Structure 1
């Protein structure tokens, strides 16, 4: 999982054409990035007001989220006073490339920005330990999944030219959401520098082609939804909003979300900026869910009990100067993983224990999957091993893709129920720690249990 602590054309659906091109937004001096929240479907008055003191970069009318830019320091107060506007908040705390032409402060080294180990080139295909642990190798004997099922990889981009991904890559449904504006220029979805998204994609659907590795659902498709920006891989809220809406409007069955929304590790409702960020992403994720998408997310890599009464953060905001935020209440959420209707995934080792880095929490973690030393695809026809809940989450996304293949008429809620029912109960005693609470069938380390690909196709 990456974030601060780890690593004018009108469109259909919820998208509405921009009132300013990307280039014109980038050229304006000293622009701040804002989210303007209104009642869904009632955005016009707010857009008119924004246009007087800034620009509407994009508007997601169906969910009432406007992506705005302004150089006016009083912009938020002015727009908040407009009839029908419910919230206004800044989505970032520092200038970024495309706003003032100045890159944000690089993120510090962190366990959520996993570094590959043992990088190799093309090789004969092997069945890795993680696929055996969730019985994916046995599932493939029954089915490798349906090509009609598409998983959206909301991440740093995908190298779609990779020998193990190209056959299963859907370019027609791929996009870059940088700046909160969908861009389908061919190849724009490829990574700037991070291998993260390519690695995640391989775990979901690397082809069963005699080369390299095999994904959980090698007969299904993946699409790149690039929601990060620049070499710092910042996952800003407007980008994530774009990604979730895109997923629904393009009929994805699953999204994988191995990140948290920058620049705040936890979003607190007593801060107007953080409140607006959380609400915008919540609406977008809900829109995706209601549109038929199962959203799967990494639990995070801070070894934190997300069920505890308090949590602390010393890494935010990660795009400027971080401050210490001790003893935050549990209501300050990690987004998207703690949003409603999001499947939260913890990480396990090859021995079945909870990975030491994995977040946990009773009634927060929903299901577990392998996430330590996971070999998968890297850009440039390479392969390498990464560790993190970022690596656990796509195993579950792949199992959901298999479930969607074998249950083509099932709703997101029905697919999630099957996912939980079919998971193998994994007791606290297997966890390797003393902080696990709850019974075998649903506990703080493993949730409903270890995900099982074979049961998904049986």
Structure 2
């Protein structure tokens, strides 16, 4: 979730530069025994191992090298031999190999371990950096459906760089707009001067096109609905405009990685705040009535939204004043009925240290990154990699050719994973109602038990200072809702 404005909390952060991948081709050995159709394989080298001998190793196993991405230790190969995997994994430095679509199938058992080197993997050049996709079994889900072109997701955010090579193939210009004035206007080139929107859009629908990364739903259409201005404020007129646009333009899913400004919590005993809540709620409910699934981020303040006694964030467009609040106060859009609320997890499937939560607001959890509690060899900085405008600064940047990517963390990064899964569900089950999609996502999530409370002792609520407390059992609790979203189980 952007914080959104000048007070970004555990959000906009980026990654070290990575050189573009280098393709190497080789000729298949004449004596390669073929036992079937030529199949694509991904060969993974161990971290730090050289791929210099890849062409020789692949040829010896009866295959040909299509491309070598030495910087990330990934080789793409093709072979018709049924024993190719066992043969190539015997080569020096090779960690694992796996067949890729369209020939491979892996239905799995619905569990998430994120570290199974024999699991189905994406062949995109930077996919080895996408621990988040492996954690929710997105590559396996793509064997069933990569998403339908009939499904349209609108990213209600700071805009979208529709010239980005990983977004351009799926960009729907006709259903994109700039709502920041409160009235739809054409979405012009260079519209995302913040970068947040381009990042969330990539997590949803970065194309499977041999460039960079792959989104949760890499074949659906993505529309940019600029709802946040360049400073990251999502004002009521823009929010209302965005949902009305979505409702009237056939949008199947909206992603909402923000809270609506200027009030973090809208208290209904105040006439102005009550009016904002009512107007925005009506727009959201109208979109839902037209068949739009609404997914929203919980927030990055370590707050229990069901037991919050103070709001120190509002009004955030002027000077925030700490005020006591009650259960009559609510956040838009996550507190609106029917909205799928999403908390953030890290690579270890634990709630991220910053993620807000709540028994009645969190429906499911999804990868948002965690740079403090969950840094591992697989997630070396703990954050989520996605698309980013080339001209904007990013501390942790990755480039591949002309395409730019950035590492960020936040519930903003978690919400688009669930929006992408919703798009896959609708691709597999056309015509499913928003309530049924929500139920499907919850019923197929991987249950997670409350973690040790001591893990979060150093990260109390930003707004009221209370310690983080997970309430509930494995079936449903305030940290994870029904559990961590599982793309494969959802489409099965």
Shorter-normalised TM range = 0.7 to 0.9
Residue of structure 2 equivalent to 1:419: 441
2:359 is paired with a residue whose SS is coil
Render the CA deviation track for 1:125-168: whole Å, top value 9, x for unaligned.
32410000000011112220101101100000000000100001
Where do 5+ consecutive residues of structure 2 fail to align? 22-124, 370-382, 391-402, 457-467
2:313 is paired with a residue whose SS is strand
Which TM-score applies when normalising by structure 1? Answer: 0.74
Residue of structure 2 equivalent to 1:250: 249
Which of 136, 152, 159 is the equivalent residue of 1:157?
159
Cα 1:322–1:443 change in 2 (3 A) is: same
Residues 48-447 of structure 1: matches in 2 within 5 Å? 107-111=5-9, 113-118=11-16, 124-127=125-128, 128-184=130-186, 187=188, 190-229=190-229, 231-308=230-307, 310-325=308-323, 327-372=324-369, 373-380=383-390, 381-429=403-451, 432-433=455-456, 435-447=469-481
Residue of structure 2 equivalent to 1:99: none
1:283 is paired with a residue whose SS is helix
Give the number of the structure whose alpha-carbon radius of gyration is greater: 2
1:179 is paired with a residue whose SS is coil
User: Does the 8 A contact of 2:161 with 2:192 survive in 1?
Assistant: no
Cα 1:125–1:255 change in 2 (3 A) is: same
Aligned-residue RMSD, C-alpha: 1.6
How far residue 121 of structure 1 moved from its aligned partner, in angstroms, is: 7.2
Render the CA deviation track for 1:386-410: whole Å, top value 9, x for unaligned.
0000000000000000000000021
Distance in 2 between the 1:336 and 1:249 partners?
A: 19
1:224 is paired with a residue whose SS is strand
User: Does the 8 A contact of 2:265 with 2:311 survive in 1?
Assistant: yes
Render the CA deviation track for 1:338-371: whole Å, top value 9, x for unaligned.
1111000000010111000000111221100000
Residue of structure 2 equivalent to 1:69: none
Residues 8-27 of structure 1: matches in 2 within 5 Å? none
2:322 is paired with a residue whose SS is strand
1:428 is paired with a residue whose SS is coil
User: Does the 8 A contact of 1:122 with 1:212 survive in 2?
Assistant: no
Distance in 2 between the 1:120 and 1:319 partners?
A: 37
Distance in 2 between the 1:294 and 1:171 partners?
A: 20
How far residue 112 of structure 1 moved from its aligned partner, in angstroms, is: 6.2
Render the CA deviation track for 1:34-54: whole Å, top value 9, x for unaligned.
xxxxxxxxxxxxxxxxxxxxx
Where do 5+ consecutive residues of structure 1 fail to align? 8-106
2:330 is paired with a residue whose SS is coil
Distance in 2 between the 1:383 and 1:197 partners?
A: 13
Aligned pairs, number? 351
**Runs of at least 4 residues off by over 6 Å:** none
Deviates further, 375-384 or 433-442: 433-442
1:444 is paired with a residue whose SS is coil
User: Does the 8 A contact of 2:269 with 2:328 survive in 1?
Assistant: no
Distance in 2 between the 1:121 and 1:398 partners?
A: 28
User: Does the 8 A contact of 2:11 with 2:408 survive in 1?
Assistant: no
Distance in 2 between the 1:357 and 1:129 partners?
A: 19
User: Does the 8 A contact of 1:346 with 1:365 survive in 2?
Assistant: yes
How far residue 439 of structure 1 moved from its aligned partner, in angstroms, is: 1.1
How far residue 120 of structure 1 moved from its aligned partner, in angstroms, is: 5.3
